[in-house]
Amino acid sequence: MGGALDPAVATGRNLARAALADLGPGSRIVVAVSGGADSLALAAVTAFVAEREAYELSGMVVDHQLQDGSAAVAARAAEQLAGLGIPSEVVAVDVGTAGGPEASARRARYAALERTAAEAILLAHTLDDQAETVLLGLGRGSGPRSIAGMSPVDGVLRRPFLTLRRVDTERICQAYGLQWWTDPHNSDPGYRRSRLRAELMPLLEDVLGGGVAEALARTADQVRSDSLYLDDAAAAVELPLDVPTLTDLHPALRSRVLRRGALEAGADGSALTAAHLAALDRLVTDWHGQVRIELPGGIACVREGDSLSYVRTPVGG
């Protein structure tokens, strides 16, 4: 790039640098690339940082095989990564149907990425994505955990762009001379997130006078901070299966202790709902001889006297 540095590029580089600041030279980093503006922009600014910090950077282009021509889109993305000096591989995945197409594609994509055994996997979710995620969580009414949105760091997964707007990623691509692909699913009204993006967010911005995406992202940050505190407190409870101990806890803390116990026993976290947690809570605070509470993942919680335990649910049981 020649001339003055675009402010969006400078911001993107600073965000990538901050997201990787705890890693030393030689650390293996993988950036997930779809061919869209967000991921190409993330790859471009990360390449700049990686060269200066001596990181071992590579890209992974996941072909979900959900649209005609997807292989060509993936190949074009890999070609542009090569132009940035980033070696990459294209991985075709089989997307199932459980939980809907978006959730199934996400699971397949994350599974492929995590097989790289990288020390950090960079995802290009933006502030706009975060705002949409919060609205989807509000619509489901599934509690603060969904309203907390996406975390900047989730194990090896890192999201440097959660404070960056989608329009800024396009500016970064333009500054680097990158040509991004626009996923037709993003404007398909058959997808709830697409309608949020095309219809609801512009309406909210108009009605509320702007700044809605930023406000939703701030809300996610605040709720996530509170939730992490309560999760840490739940982990510190010494007798998490003891009914008198659970009874003495504040309901907000007790629900997290119960959720943690269910997950550790093998319950399916993606299908564990507020209704399941309410049933577990009644097993503690409003027990009338209920034998067990069935949970997703083939697990049941059983109360015997003043103790809870988790057992495997027999097939057909």
- pLDDT at position 112: 83
Fold of the 7-205 domain: Rossmann fold (3.40.50)
12 is an annotated ligand-binding site residue: no
Tell me the average pLDDT across 140-155. 84
Contacts of 255-259 spanning 24+ positions with Cβ under 8 A? 255/281, 256/230, 256/231, 258/284, 259/234
pLDDT on residue 32: 95
Distance in angstroms (rounded) separating the CA atoms of residues 59 and 121: 9
Tens of pLDDT, residues 153-165: 999 999 999 999 9
- Residue 317 predicted with pLDDT over 50: no
The answer to whether residues 137 and 146 touch, using CB atoms and an 8 Å cutoff, is yes
Residue 68 has pLDDT above 80, yes or no: no
Q: What is the 3-state secondary structure (H, E, C) of 276-287?
A: HHHHHHHHHHCC
The CATH T-level fold of domain 238-312 is 3.30.465
Distance CA 150, CA 221 (A): 9
- pLDDT, residue 211, reads 94
Q: Given this model, what pLDDT does residue 311 score?
A: 95
pLDDT (tens digit per residue) in 101-119: 667 777 888 888 888 889 9
Tens-digit pLDDT profile for residues 253-308? 999 999 999 999 999 987 888 889 999 999 999 998 887 899 999 999 999 999 99
Measure the CA–CA gap between 155 and 133, rounded to whole angstroms.
19
Answer yes or no: is 96 a known binding residue.
no
CA distance 93 to 271: 23
- Locus of tokens 């979710």: 125
DSSP β-bridge partners for residue 88: 59
Share of the chain above pLDDT 70, in %: 93
How confident is the model over 5-62, as pLDDT tens digits?
899 999 999 999 999 999 999 999 999 999 999 999 999 999 999 999 999 999 999 8
Question: What distance separates the 2 farthest-apart alpha carbons in the chain?
Answer: 75
129 annotated to a ligand binding site: no
What Cα–Cα distance (Å) separates residue 155 from each residue in 145, 152, 158, 194?
Answer: 17, 10, 8, 28
| Domain spans in the chain, listed from the N-terminal domain onward | 7-205, 238-312
DSSP result, 112-143? HHHTT--SEEE----HHHHHHHHHHHHHHT--
Report pLDDT digits (tens) over 179-219.
998 877 666 777 788 899 989 999 999 999 999 999 999 99
142 assigned to a ligand binding site: no
Q: What pLDDT score does 100 carry?
A: 63
Classify 183 as helix, strand or coil. coil
Query: Is residue 38 marked as binding?
Result: yes
pLDDT cut 90: percent of the chain above it: 71
Between CA 194 and CA 215 the distance in angstroms is: 20
pLDDT-derived band at 3 (thresholds 50, 70, 90) equals low
Find out whether 177 is annotated in a ligand binding site: no
